[in-house]
Amino acid sequence: MTSAQIEIQLIACIVAIACAIPGTFLVLRKMAMISDAISHSILPGIVIGFFLTEDLNSPWLILLAALSGIITVVMVEYIQKTGLVKEDTAIGLVFPALFSIGVILIAKNAGDVHLDVDAVLLGELAFAPFDRLLIGGTDVGPKSLWVIGTILLLTLGLLIAFFKELKISTFDKQLAATLGFSPVLMHYGLMSIASVTTVGAFDAVGAILVVALMIAPPAMAYLLIKDLKKMLVLACIFGVIAALAGYWMAHWLDASIAGSITTVLGMLFLAVYLFAPNSGLISVLHRQKRQKIEVHLLTFLLHLQNHREKSERHINHLNEHINWHKVRATSVVNLALKNNMITIDDHIISLTEKGKIFTTEAINYIITNKSAAIEDMKERFFLFRG
């Protein structure tokens, strides 16, 4: 690897971590779309900042752009408070308006400005190593690495200092207010960090990928883990994996780095969505299927218990009586046999002692809804689990 390659990957990883931290709280606050709004509406701030400073990495430009991010949030909230439109509509009204101001500003001054809309949307991570930071004539590394590194340190510092305040104001705004922690202050603090991070990452990865890096890693972590601290760590790890894999995918395909990272994020999310142990689609389907079998088994056993007469218990009558297809009836009978709940004697099905106890307890459970009893029961009877 050349040093430029290492620098690009380092920048991508730091951007990913810096985005995942505020992103986690945005996801938990159900404000994911606001990051989309911020990422677009900071454009006029960047353009105006660029006119004034002529330096994309100037701290003034970053502050100005972050300010237009905050203005977006304030405008969205103001429109929403009128009660005339809902929040998503308000977001959809505000950010295209601001973004288009930025687009017009770029177009009008295209001659003087080293900025174009493509770069804004997709970023130019590949060029990041060319813009060096020189201190007293010494090259200390790419400028964007210093910019996003500083932002990450700031974010981490604030996260560690105000973790408890962020957590409580995210979980229960009203409690936070009554305990003397201003939820409004935390809200705007988080929005400021999200805006500053967006601006800092913008130059490297562009407006679209910033959103992906803020939302996708926390969304994956949320599906896998139910602990805020671990969720933060996992979101950062997912971000870094996507950054590195995306870089090498771009290298291999000779394509946009930002586009490749976003693609990897999409594929990672799909994998988590399908295979997450408890909340993943496959696990949910599997659980539903199991529950369906359990209900059928119980229905069958109840029928046997309620109908002592032989004609009702003849195996050929089962289909008509419980109105099941042959396949399902066979599989349920086999299951009951396997668990020693029934015996079949000359085509007549009888409950065994174990089957009787199970049925009685199951009815008991359905009536009393005591979960402790059924948990215990499952251990003893539902042998086909696992």
Partner 1 sequence: MKEKIAIKVDDLTVAYNFKPVLWDIDLSVPEGVLMAIVGPNGAGKSTLIKAMLDIIKPIAGSVEIFGKPYKKQYKEVAYVPQKGSVDWDFPTTALDVVMMGTYGSLGWIKRPGRQQKKEALEALEKVGMLEFRSRQISQLSGGQQQRIFLARALVQKASIYIMDEPFQGVDATTEKAIINILKELRKEGKTVVVVHHDLQTVPEYFDWVTFLNVKKIATGSVKDIFNDDNLTKTYGINYKVSVLQ
3-state secondary structure 136-158: CCEEEEEHHHHHHHHHHHHHHHH
How many residues are given for the chain?
A: 386
The binder of partner 1 chosen from 48, 63, 119, 228 (CB under 8 A): 228
Residue 375 within binding range of partner 1, rule CB under 8 A: no
What does the DSSP assignment read for 33-99? HHHHHHHHHTHHHHHHHHHHHS-TT-HHHHHHHHHHHHHHHHHHHHHHHTTSS-HHHHHHHHHHHHH
The binder of partner 1 chosen from 181, 273, 324, 382 (CB under 8 A): 181
At closest approach, how far in Å is the CB of 252 from partner 1? Answer: 36
Residue 175 within binding range of partner 1, rule CB under 8 A: yes
Closer residue to partner 1, CB minimum distance, 138 or 174: 174
Residue 237 within binding range of partner 1, rule CB under 8 A: no
The one segment of 174-182, 198-206, 245-253, 317-325 that binds partner 1 by CB under 8 A: 174-182
Contact positions with partner 1 (CB under 8 A) in 246-305: none
- H/E stretch holding 284 reads helix 281-306
The one segment of 101-109, 156-164, 332-340, 341-349 that binds partner 1 by CB under 8 A: 156-164
366, 294 Cβ separation under 8 angstroms: no
39, 199 Cβ separation under 8 angstroms: no
At closest approach, how far in Å is the CB of 182 from partner 1? Answer: 10
Count of residues interacting with partner 1 (CB under 8 A): 26
The binder of partner 1 chosen from 108, 226, 370, 380 (CB under 8 A): 226
Q: Distance (Å, rounded) from C-alpha 265 to C-alpha 243?
A: 9
The sign of the dihedral angle between the CA atoms of 221, 223, 228, 230 is negative
CA dihedral 8, 9, 12, 15 (to 10 degrees): -100
The binder of partner 1 chosen from 2, 83, 138, 323 (CB under 8 A): 83
Residue 4 within binding range of partner 1, rule CB under 8 A: no
Residues that bind partner 1 (CB under 8 A): 28, 30, 83, 161-165, 167-168, 170-172, 174-175, 177-181, 222, 225-228, 231
